[in-house]
Structure 1
Amino acid sequence: MIKASIIKEFRLIFSDLHSLAVLFLMPISFMLIMTFALSNKAEDLTKSINLNITQQDSNLAESLLKAYLSDVGFSQDINQQADVTLELASGFENALFADQANSVITFSHATSLSPQMTSLAKQHLQIALAKVKLHIYLLDAGQLSDSMPLAEQMSRVSEQTNQLKLVSFKREENYQAVQHSIPSWLVFGVFFIVLPISITLISESQNGTLLRVTTFPISNTAYFSAKLLAFYLVSFTQALVLMIIGFTVIPKLVDAPSLNVLQLVPALPLLAVTCATAVTFGAVIASQIKSHEQAIVIGGGTNILLAAISGLMVPLDIMPKAMQTIAQLSPMHWAQSGLKNLFISDSDVLSLTTALPLIIFSVICGVLALWLFELKVRKLQWK
């Protein structure tokens, strides 16, 4: 009977194209879009910022500032509306070397420029000013010659200020984007199993299947457990497909190194626990939903809200401290942070402290879901 119940659930799930789209197409699309969004390098971002520099008087320092900002990609098209405007005060060059620092640049930006892009522009302005001061100092000290082409002078100054040559990076920037983005959207997709579970329970309530089951030689607990087992197998298959695509196909699209499929093996235990958490949590919500509209609003809405506060949509390390604290209470955060740690640290051992909260949460949700399902069937019998 339990085997027949599992086969029935598989037929229902794979006959519903909407459910399959929610479980597979939507998470793959999210992974692709968000990985592309995070894969941009700083120099690519500066090219989108149009810079306008106004000055009271023309001098070497002002020319050098323009040149160094152009060198890192800032556009300076006077025919376009400026994203960032730098107004240089009179005596700008002399003020750069004054004993007491005073404001000699007024920085303003368009309201349409995001806080992140504004911060990026400020950082590059600070670096450019440091290069300008060093450039003028080297000219005065005779270490640079006025007869040298400006490009060669700038190259020598940049070489002296580039301290990254002293640092070796273990991973490429695009590789880091893949490691952070893929686990987040994989977990987000897995938790959408709540919608197929909800739709199945609603259909069985409306067509009388749940009432007929009470006449079968199987308990409500066994029937519901078989149903959840079927959804668990679907969820685990979904997670495997998403992980393989995420770590082998998507990196090729963003020019990042691909992982060997065998490197995904250490993540399988955590993936199994994550799927159990998603299915039992989804079952708790599904057992209380009474219509397809509620399934979309409550089931889908809960997932989106959890993703928002768990650091899936916005990186946790740029959130305010209060939201970082709230995120620690979310099962989505436990799952995605565990997967990230496995790949970022190159660890091949699943930490018990990572899996234990998910296991405890799954057990609590599983017991609660069974109890709520029993109540649901009793209410149907009373009607």
Structure 2
Amino acid sequence: MLLYKLWRSFVKEILLLKRDIGGIVIIFVMPLLLIVTITLIQDSTFKNLEGSKIPIIFIDNDKSEVSKNIKQELETSKTFQLLTNYNEKSAQEAVFSGDYQMAIVIPENLTKDLNSNIDSKVQTIVSSFGLEGDTTAAKKSAPKAKEIHLYFDPATNAGFKNSVMNSVNKMVFEIENKKIYKAFQDQLGTTENLDENKNLISFKEITPKKGEMDVMPNSVQHNVPAWTLFAIFFIVVPLSINLVKEKSQGTSVRARISPTPYFVHILGKTFTYLIICIIQFLLMVAVGIYLFPYMDLPAFDVSGKMFQLIVVTLFSGLAAIGFGVLLGTIADTQEQSAPFGATSVVVLAAIGGIWVPVFLMPEFMQTVAKFSPMNWGLNAYYDIILRNSGIGGIAKELAFLLAFYIAMVTISIFYERKQNAV
């Protein structure tokens, strides 16, 4: 008998959704448009950074060894296109007006003064060891340190500025080291090959591998789970609206006076919207697997992970349904439930890392993000997709999502009983 009542509640929810075309569009069509649009934008951005060069102004007032080395390094970096038909004043105006992102100005006599500075220091060091050297040259005052001027567009990202300055510093540091080494060779009369003076310590990035291939995160692996979660939580809007409709049309009154317990009414909604969540997830995965490759995007790889991903989807769906039930129970009108539901989902997405990665947020917001159910679901998806975790590795996130659902439904049931107590 209880199963029959649950079935009838399920059928009632399906009929309500069939009459709500706008809700169907929100649930299925909008997330698909979002995932395609956002992924295309982000992937195009990555490809632009990788495939095309950023035009920057390069002014060489030195026209000698050091400036030529810097210019060669910039040209071979495959990142910059050097524009040289400027003087420092016109370059400053062009950059500060936003025409170009940056300009590099190499000062006059940079190579000459650097050589003199290094020779002076090497002479001093050699003389201090009692070795032969030109003591007269050692006593000469070293030239004043030179400055390479870097002009940046005020709207340029701080990360780009730091990256360029670090790259220039590294280039200058390597040039100085080679010149110092060469100066010591000349003073000490050694004949060791300069090219053999390589770094003793280097960095090697170790990444997860699938067979012989490196497993690297891409825009698709980030966007499919992120916008799937956004779609799942957006069922809060039609779910809460339907609950409000039931109150305004008297359906909830008939449900209360019927012998069917109220929790069966809630379970009917839960099963209905869980099926919707699974359909949303499968549609998103289908787009990632079959449509994205035709749009010159990486395919979404779910091999060996489908079961775990569906489990996360079910628990994330439970959390979204619980929130929608609470909102629909508390709200008195559709004008209250619809905008508040949409806004709250956007806020949960923002603090949960759907739009901006959590590690880029301020420390306070990183703490707040830990309380967002979207963040729990996103971490579970990422653990499976990017870290190859099993169900055991995401047990904590699943427990949080289930506890959130139970808490929301429990509060809703108590609130409903209190409001209708005689």
**Distance (whole Å) between structure 2 residues aligned to residue 28 and residue 141 of structure 1:** 65
Residue 353 of structure 2 corresponds to residue 347 of structure 1: no
Hey, what's the Cα distance between the residues in 1 that align with 2:203 and 2:71?
Answer: 25
1:5 maps to 2:9: yes
TM-score (normalizing by structure 1): 0.79
State the AA in 2 paired with 1:372.
Y
Task: Give distance in 2, aligned partners of 1:173 and 1:112.
Answer: 34
Flag the 1:262–1:302 CA change in 2: closer, same or farther, 3 A: same
Which of 82, 107, 125 is the matching residue for 1:76? 82
- The answer to whether the 8 Å contact 1:174/1:254 transfers is no
Aligned match for 2:366, one of 324, 335, 346 = 324
Which deviates further from its counterpart, 44-53 or 300-309?
44-53
* 1:52–1:84 CA contact under 8 A, matched in 2: yes
Aligned AA (2:8): A
Which consecutive unaligned segments of at least 5 residues does structure 1 have? 143-156
| Superposed CA offset, 1:139-167 (max 9, x none) | 9999xxxxxxxxxxxxxx9xx89x99965
Residue aligning to 1:292? 334
For residue 24 of structure 1, the aligned residue among 22, 28, 31 is 28
Residue 199 of structure 1 and its aligned partner are, at CA, apart by: 1.7
* Residue number in structure 1 paired with 2:55: 50
AA of the residue aligned to 1:2: L
Letter in 1 for 2:63: S
AA in 1 matched with 2:261: S
Among 250, 253, 263, the alignment partner of 1:211 is: 253
**Match in the other structure for 2:323:** 281
Partner of 1:153: none
CA contact (8 A) 2:55 2:100 kept: yes
| Counterparts of residues 123-202 of structure 1 (less than 5 Å) | 123-129=166-172, 169=207, 170=209, 175-202=217-244
Alpha-carbon distance in structure 1 between the residues aligned to 2:17 and 2:180: 72
**1:75-94 alignment, distance < 5 Å:** 75-77=81-83, 81-94=99-112
8 Å Cα contact 2:220/2:300 also seen in 1: no
* Cα gap change, 1:106 to 1:300, in 2 (>3 Å): same
1:247 shift after superposition? 4.9
| Deviations 1:160-194 (CA, angstroms, capped at 9, x unpaired) | 89x99965643658643332332222212211110
Aligned counterparts of 1:320 and 1:204: Cα–Cα separation in 2: 42
Answer whether contact 2:6 2:268 (CA < 8 A) is retained. Answer: yes
Q: For the residues of structure 1 that align with 2:215 and 2:47, how far apart are their CA atoms?
A: 10
Alpha-carbon distance, 1:295 to partner: 3.0
- Which amino acid counterpart does residue 31 of structure 2 have in structure 1? P
Check if 1:230 corresponds to 2:269. no
How many residues are paired up? 362
In 1, Cα distance between equivalents of 2:18 and 2:111: 71
1:269–1:350 CA contact under 8 A, matched in 2: no
Which residue does 1:368 correspond to in 2?
411
- Alpha-carbon offset, residue 248 of structure 1: 5.2
2:62 maps to 1:62: no
Moved more, 291-300 or 117-126: 117-126
Q: CA 1:239–1:322 in structure 2 vs 1: closer, same or farther (change >3 Å)?
A: same
- Measured in 2, the distance between the counterparts of 1:167 and 1:223 equals 54
More deviation in 258-267 or 105-114? 258-267
Percent of aligned pairs sharing the same letter = 19
Q: Which moved more, 1:246-255 or 1:60-69?
A: 246-255
Once the 2 structures are TM-superposed, how far is the Cα of residue 93 of structure 1 from its aligned partner? 2.9
Contact 2:270/2:318, CA 8 A, preserved across alignment: no
Q: In the superposition, relative to structure 1, how do residues 68 and 364 fare at CA in structure 2: closer, same or farther (>3 Å)? A: same
Say if 2:35 is the partner of 1:36: no
Counterpart of 1:287 in 2: which secondary structure?
helix
Q: Are the counterparts in 2 of residues 46 and 121 from structure 1 also a CA contact under 8 Å?
A: no
Give 1:195 deviation, angstroms.
0.4
Deviates more, 1:203-212 or 1:323-332: 203-212
Distance 1:205 1:53, change over 3 A: same
The offset of 1:302, in angstroms, is 0.9
- Seen in structure 2, the aligned counterparts of structure 1 residues 234 and 375 have a Cα distance that, compared at 3 Å, is farther
Mark the structure with the bigger radius of gyration.
2
Contact between 1:289 and 1:295, CA under 8 Å: does it hold in 2? yes
Cα 1:41–1:197 shift into 2, 3 Å: closer
Does the aligned pair in 2 maintain the 1:178–1:247 contact within 8 Å? no
Residue of structure 2 in register with 1:111 after alignment: 154
Structure 1 residues 54 and 290: CA distance shift in structure 2, 3 A: farther
- Partners of 1:181 and 1:274 lie apart in 2 by 16
Aligned match of 1:246 in 256, 268, 288?
Answer: 288
CA distance in 2, matches of 1:175, 1:308: 21
Letter in 2 for 1:245: V
From the superposition, tell whether residues 372 and 234 of structure 1 become closer, same or farther in structure 2 (CA, over 3 Å). farther
Task: Give TM-score scaled by structure 2 length.
Answer: 0.73
Structure 2 unaligned segments of length 5 or more: list them. Answer: 87-93, 122-143, 186-194
CA distance in 2, matches of 1:11, 1:139: 84
